[in-house]
């Protein structure tokens, strides 16, 4: 079975208390940074490697168009509903999945994912169990996830410049460093790079027990006010 490193749902313990005013300011800043307003859109190209060329990423032909369609209620908390429409000109299939996202009280981006727009599914969810996607400007964030294959240390990193699809961005990296539990296995790092006031610019996912790598790269975006 293939296991691909992904998002962390671990909580973060922070001993530095902040005042309600400071928290509200940080929250407003985070909400603006992630642009979850209804109407915002992003388009990504998916790159991946192959068994024949494991160290080379090439465009798979898949394009993911993401749009914030509406707001939904999950357990009394408002989430933005993002629709992913994935197409490939090589075939006629259209794959759709949904992402339900919000900025939590710590200014972190958290989400649920599902392949259908299901009210029944949403009714089963607890807002507090959403997976952490990115800690925003919380540069002190870190957490640890353990599984059969090893340990993943998640941490935020300082803002850095990045060029994606010919465009330059300043991104806030959030990385998961995987340390294998068994001899001979490969250590590796996954990434989620967000630019303030834009959103996700690049993500890198890797199979923990194999060589598969996929990377989503931002091609274009249109942000709602």
Predicted pLDDT at 176: 97
Predicted pLDDT at 8: 46
Alpha helices in the chain (DSSP H): 20-34, 119-123
Q: What is the DSSP string of 171-208?
A: EEEEEEEEEESSTTPPPEEEEEEEETTTEEEEEEEEBT
Predicted pLDDT at 15: 39
Predicted pLDDT at 208: 85
- Report which of residues 15 and 189 the model is more confident about: 189
* Average of per-residue pLDDT across 48-72: 95
Predicted pLDDT at 126: 97
Predicted pLDDT at 77: 94
Closest CA to 96 of 66, 69, 68, 71: 66
* Average of per-residue pLDDT across 154-177: 96
Residue 209 has pLDDT above 70, yes or no: yes
Encode pLDDT of 126-137 as tens digits.
999 999 999 998
Encode pLDDT of 171-202 as tens digits.
999 999 999 998 878 899 999 999 999 999 99
What percentage of the chain has pLDDT greater than the value 90?
72
How high does pLDDT run on average in the chain?
88
Q: Whole-angstrom Cα distance, residue 64 to residue 83?
A: 10
Predicted pLDDT at 21: 53
Spell out the CATH class of 20-222.
Answer: mainly beta
* Average of per-residue pLDDT across 96-102: 97
Stated as kind and residue range, the H or E segment containing 85 is strand 77-87
């Amino acid at each position: 079975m293939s296991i691909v490193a992904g998002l962390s749902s671990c909580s973060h313990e922070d001993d530095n208390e902040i005042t309600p005013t400071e928290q509200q300011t940080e929250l407003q800043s985070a909400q603006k940074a992630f642009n979850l307003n209804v109407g915002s859109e992003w388009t990504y190209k998916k790159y991946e490697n192959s068994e024949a060329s494991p160290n080379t990423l090439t465009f798979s032909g898949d394009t993911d168009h993401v749009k914030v369609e509406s707001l939904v209620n999950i357990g009394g908390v408002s989430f933005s509903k993002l629709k992913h429409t994935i197409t490939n000109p090589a075939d006629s299939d259209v794959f759709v999945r949904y992402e339900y996202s919000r900025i939590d009280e710590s200014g972190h981006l958290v989400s649920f994912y599902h392949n259908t727009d299901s009210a029944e599914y949403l009714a089963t969810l607890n807002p507090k169990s959403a997976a952490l996607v990115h800690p925003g400007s919380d540069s002190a964030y870190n957490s640890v996830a353990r599984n059969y294959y090893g340990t993943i240390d998640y941490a935020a990193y300082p803002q850095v410049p990045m060029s994606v699809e010919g465009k330059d961005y300043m991104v806030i990296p959030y990385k998961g460093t995987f340390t294998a539990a068994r001899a001979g296995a490969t250590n590796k790092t996954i990434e989620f790079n967000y630019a303030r006031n834009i959103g996700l610019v690049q993500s890198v996912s890797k199979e923990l027990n194999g060589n598969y790598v996929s990377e989503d790269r931002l091609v274009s975006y249109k942000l709602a006010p």
